């Protein structure tokens, strides 16, 4: 039987580092993204997943909102099948890079979001914390789950999401 951990401070401290959270150390915990895999295709549960366009758009939006990082890479090509895209993609250590028109759409969405009254209040709060990890047991099966709150205020937890579908 696995040891029951009751003091999570050291674990949480390590998970504050994105390399630890998203790397080998963090992979020992279940995450929200594992739920879909476990329910729909358990054989793929621990398999590496290549970036998809929706994942890349979501990560770019996340970086733009939380860290005002507007320097995400993009390639100024009409499609991913052009020579321009294929040649420039080799300059990046990624399987997929946004097209400029996709980057512009995400940047436009960021502008609209940043000026929404709720986001103005939340992001203007000097007490907010960003990217706060936590771990815990969610059921009595003694499996540790890890999560990161995108934005934590004194009253709420905010999780920034983008989606092209509300079905899953």
Mean pLDDT of the chain: 90
Mean pLDDT of 24-50: 85
Angle at which helices 100-114 and 117-124 cross, to 10° = 80
Is the pLDDT at 1 greater than 70, yes or no?
Answer: no
Which of 4-18, 77-91, 154-168 bottoms out in mean pLDDT, i.e. has the lowest?
154-168
Condensed to tens digits (0 to 9), the pLDDT of residues 95-138 reads 999 999 999 999 999 999 999 999 999 999 999 999 999 999 88
Q: What is the pLDDT of residues 48-77, one digit of tens each?
A: 778 889 989 999 999 999 999 999 899 999
pLDDT score, position 2:
60
C-alpha distances out from residue 161 to 15, 27, 47, 108, 134, Å? 21, 21, 23, 15, 19
Closest CA to 73 of 93, 48, 55: 93
Global confidence as pTM:
0.84
Q: How confident is the model at residue 164 (pLDDT cuts 50, 70, 90)?
A: low
98 bridge partner residues: 74
Pick from 28, 26, 25, 23: nearest CA to 2: 28
Residue 168 has a pLDDT of: 46
């Amino acid at each position: 039987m696995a040891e029951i951990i009751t003091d999570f401070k050291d674990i949480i401290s390590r998970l504050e580092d994105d390399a630890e959270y998203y790397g080998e150390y963090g992979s020992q915990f279940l995450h929200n993204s594992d739920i879909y895999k476990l329910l729909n295709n358990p054989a793929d549960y621990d398999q590496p997943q290549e970036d998809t366009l929706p994942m890349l758009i979501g990560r770019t939006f996340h970086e733009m909102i939380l860290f005002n990082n507007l320097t995400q890479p993009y390639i100024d090509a009409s499609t991913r099948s052009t020579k321009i895209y294929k040649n420039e993609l080799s300059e990046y250590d990624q399987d997929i890079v946004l097209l400029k028109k996709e980057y512009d759409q995400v940047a436009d969405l960021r502008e609209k979001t940043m000026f929404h009254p709720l986001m103005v209040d939340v992001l203007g709060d000097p007490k907010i914390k960003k990217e706060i990890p936590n771990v815990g047991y969610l059921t009595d099966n003694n499996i540790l789950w890890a999560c990161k709150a995108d934005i934590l205020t004194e009253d709420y937890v905010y999780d920034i999401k983008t989606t092209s579908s509300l079905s899953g």
